[in-house]
Amino acid sequence: MGSLKVNLCGIELENPVIPASGTFGYGYEFAEIYDINVLGTFSFKGTTRDPRFGNPTPRIAECTAGMINAVGLQNPGVEKVISEELPKLKRCFNKPVMANISGFSVEDYVYTCEKLDKEEQVGWLEVNVSCPNVHGGGMSFGTSPEAAAEVTREVKKVTKKPVIIKLSPNVTDIVSIAVACEEAGADGISLINTLLGMRINKARRAPIIANKMGGFSGSAIFPVAVRMVYQVSHAVNIPVVGMGGVSSAEDVVEMMMAGATAVEVGAANLINPTACKDIIEDLPRVMDKYKIENLSEIIRCV
């Protein structure tokens, strides 16, 4: 069997499969189902400076080949993540974990990143810039190269661990934003976050989700994700973590050929809680099928 190992920002992973933030909680919930140490790592639930209850319900709507969610970053806040969630995780996961961080101002990002950077369990900081900028009229930090670069630059000033900036696909030119983040000091880029979608309850003549619109994810968005990973990976010289509709070992290989060093799996975890385990177990078969000796050799081979 060939090697499944990859190197993400200086840290070796046994395989490139990473459950995406928001679909895997803080890990220990899934540890009741299988040994989560088979994972390359995982990105834990999006964490903010202060506790958040999230958006009103209903927050999820089904779609053909996907789903829409508007959970609203529900989490207990960084202090409780450090004092309560990470100790629970440590009992069932013995690898570095990826901390997913959100904020509504540059100060929010800096505060939360600085806190989590000091945690021994944290290997990478995945900074989600798809949040609304409360000081910038509500527009997402990730819609502007300048705003995304500012977050990157300020976070890098207070951290020592690799900073991976997670980008939104809801932009005209994702490449210019990725390049701006690299120039500001980002150690990696992850993409894509969810597309913006909406469903309507025809009987009630009203949106299904209380928030009206939400993040569209699932296998339907996979071609969009592959395209954007390809574009960004060929424009930057830092690792790219690809995600968006990944649900099989075949998808992982395709995403890596497009340019991803590692691959996150999101909505598939909500359909099948052993999705990532199943993908990892199937990777050797798919590697044999395409005559792949080592997964690291196919990164950006297209």
Residue 244: C-alpha distances to residues 195, 224, 268 (Å): 9, 8, 10
Q: Is residue 175 part of a domain?
A: yes
The burial class, CB within 10 Å (0-12 / 13-18 / 19+), for 169 is: buried
H or E stretch at 188: strand 188-191
- 134 found inside a domain: yes
Question: DSSP assignment of 98-137, as one string?
Answer: EEEE--SSHHHHHHHHHHHHT-TTEEEEEEE--SB-TTTT
Tell me whether residue 67 is in a domain: no
CA distance 72 to 63: 19
Please give the backbone phi and psi of residue 215, each rounded to the nearest 5 degrees, phi first: -85, 120
Please state, in angstroms and rounded to a whole number, the distance separating the CA atoms of residues 290 and 44. Answer: 32
Query: Is 203 contained in some domain?
Result: no
Q: pLDDT tens digits for 240-277?
A: 999 999 999 999 999 999 999 999 999 999 999 999 99
Each residue's pLDDT tens digit, 62-94? 999 999 999 989 999 999 999 999 999 999 999
Is-contact 188 237, C-beta < 8 A? no
Residue 36 included in any domain = yes
**What local confidence, expressed as pLDDT, does residue 217 receive?**
96
Residue 278, classed as helix, strand or coil, is helix
| Domain with 252 in it | 6-56+73-198+217-298
Domains held by the chain: number: 1
Asked if residue 63 is part of any domain, the answer here is no
The DSSP secondary structure of 2-46, one letter per residue, reads -B--EEETTEEESSSEEEPTTSSTTSHHHHTTS-GGGSS--BPPP
How far is residue 75's CA from residue 122's CA, in Å, rounded to a whole number? 17
In the predicted model, residues of the chain with pLDDT beneath 50 are none
Q: Specify the DSSP element, H or E, that contains 256.
A: helix 249-258
For helices 174-183 and 222-233, the axis angle rounded to 10 degrees is 40
| Cα separation values, 211 from 52, 156, 173, 197, 289, Å | 16, 33, 26, 11, 44
| pLDDT number for residue 132 | 65
Q: Is residue 180 part of a domain?
A: yes
Answer whether residue 208 is part of any domain. Answer: no
What's residue 257's pLDDT? 98
pLDDT at 160: 98
Active site residues: 131
pLDDT at res. 138: 56
Identify whether the C-beta of residue 167 lies closer than 8 Å to the C-beta of residue 190.
yes
CATH number at residue 230: 3.20.20.70
In angstroms, the Cα distances linking 289 to 171, 179, 239, 249, 254 are 36, 35, 26, 11, 13
